[in-house]
Amino acid sequence: MTQTCGFVAIVGRPNVGKSTLMNRILGQKISITSRRPQTTRHQVMGIKTEGEAQFIYVDTPGMHIMSKDRNKAINRFMNQAASQALRDVDCVVFIIDRTRWTPEDQVVLDKLTHVKAPVILAINKVDWLEDKASLLPWLEEVGAKHEFAAILPLSAKHGTNVPELEAEVAKHLPESIHYYPEDQITDRSQRFLAAELVREKVMRQLGDELPYQMTVEIEEFRDEGRVIHISALMLVERQGQKKILIGESGERIKKIGREARLEMERAFGAKVMLNLWVKVKRGWSDDDRALKSLGYDLE
């Protein structure tokens, strides 16, 4: 049988379920998730090999409108990372949230008008729709906005119609040798995943402002076989944020560390010794050089 292999960009505005969809397709967690917009900051590749077909999915940051409160170097980086993922892909999965069309959905669609690859529209979170009858007229309405290769309502969280989406994507994979070994599921390192898991726990636990002015740098990742020693530095921009992150008598940072460690042990299949530190680095999120040194690099 002929082998097929292709790149599939998963795009959409913030918080529509792109990372949840990729994790569901892969059957394990590669991209971190939270209810907060812009949890994903990097392109994250997820590889799925089924028989003669190899799907290389690229999870992307949510494309968003630059505004007064979202006009920092890190916002520009995220938009560029999402746009860059559209280059040279074989298929695009464009996700929207139920029967809502926002100006940011339009921003994404405008980008897709210049893409030669077929675009599949995935309408996510349909399990949350109270009025299921509203779906059919909505499918017709959004279908008129672009010449989509297919339109599929689905639930990334529960897996509804996800196999149908994969079957649709498979139609657009070109004939090609496989680029990755059959058992590889991402191009990202354990070190990268460790940093992301710490950031996820912060995103899930803390208020609206702090997670966006916080990043994680892994200072030590030492794998001794049965035990992995990890030291992670959480960078914030102000002294007050450091206090919030540490919490009363260190309770907050202990909880973040405990949850991140348990998740890492599941992901890495080994015991993890995790040390967390907090440091103030003023203005890191609006400094291109600082971002590059922290791994926010499109190269």
- Partnered with residue 278 across adjacent β-strands are 234
Q: For residues 70 and 65, what is the distance between their CA atoms, to the nearest angstrom?
A: 8
SS3 133: helix
Q: Is 210 within 8 Å of 217 (Cβ atoms)?
A: no
Residues contributing to the annotated binding site: 12-19, 59-63, 124-127
Cα torsion 210, 215, 221, 225 to 10°: value is: 60
Using CA of residue 262, residue 185, residue 31, residue 233, what is the dihedral sign?
positive
Residues contributing to the annotated binding site for GTP: 12-19, 59-63, 124-127
Beta strands in the chain (DSSP E): 4-11, 44-50, 53-59, 91-97, 119-124, 150-153, 215-223, 227-236, 271-280
| Residues contacting 96, CB < 8 A, separation 6+ | 12, 13, 16, 105, 121, 122, 123, 124, 142
Q: Is 25 within 8 Å of 57 (Cβ atoms)?
A: yes
**Tokens 């657009």 found at:** 172
Q: Is 44 within 8 Å of 188 (Cβ atoms)?
A: yes
What H or E segment, with its residue span, contains residue 76?
A: helix 73-84
Q: For residues 172 and 157, what is the distance between their CA atoms, to the nearest angstrom?
A: 24
Q: Is 120 within 8 Å of 92 (Cβ atoms)?
A: yes
Angle at 109 between CA 106 and CA 115, to 5 degrees: 160
